[in-house]
Copies of this chain bind each other. A is one copy, B any other.
Amino acid sequence: MARQRAFDRDAALEHALLAFWRHGYEATSIAELTAAMGIRPPSLYAAFGDKRRLFEEAVTHYQRTYGAFTTRALAEEPTGRQAIERVLRESADEYATDEHPRGCLVISAAVNCGPESAEVEELLRDLRKQAKAALKKRIDDDLAAGRLPAGTDTAGLAAFYAAVIQGMSTQSRDGAGRAELRRIAALAMAAYPSPGGA
């Protein structure tokens, strides 16, 4: 019994996500967001609350779309080693493409934050820790299945692969191409212990 929204909420969220991905949370202004979304500020605030909540929703949308390949890779591969290898390889491909902004939004969108955006910084920090824990879980599977030497430092391996992925994100934003990222990914697999031990 009332006027209905004249824009596509999902499409607007998608455009907001791309803007945040490109320049990060604080550096993306409401003016830039409304321009990218094709709407005016009151429509944005009515549909999404405020800038912080729009960002949180954009991050959730990111994890369900562009960032979902990591969760898929970890879930679908039979062994921890294959899961890690696939995450690295697909990260190389995803980070270096020109179909969307470079690198990973969770890694790069809230690095330079003032005190007033500390909560946003903390949100992405938590997601990075969750991602590292997800890597460790699959590596632990290999350890439990005897595919890794007893006593293997799985937490250290998870931190190592998380670091490699974070570095790949940085370098993709610095202009590195798919081939260069793939070479990083391949070299990183040399650190994965062989079943028999060192």
Contact = CB atoms under 8 A, between A and B. Distances in A.
A27 interface: yes
A48 B121 CA distance: 30
A173 B128 CA distance: 12
Interface string A178-189: 001001101110
15 contacts: A26-B112, A27-B113, A28-B114, A109-B112, A128-B170, A156-B184, A159-B176, A160-B183, A160-B184, A160-B187, A162-B171, A163-B166, A163-B184, A188-B191, A191-B191
Interface in A150-165: 153, 155-157, 159-160, 162-165
Report whether over half of chain A's contact residues are helix, strand or loop; otherwise say mixed: helix
A9 interface: no
A108 interface: yes
A70 to B, nearest CB: 15
Contacts of A117: 27
Contacts of A165: 167
A113 to B, nearest CB: 6
A27 B107 contact: no
A11 to B, nearest CB: 24
Contacts of A188: 160, 191
Contacts of A159: 171, 176, 180, 183-184
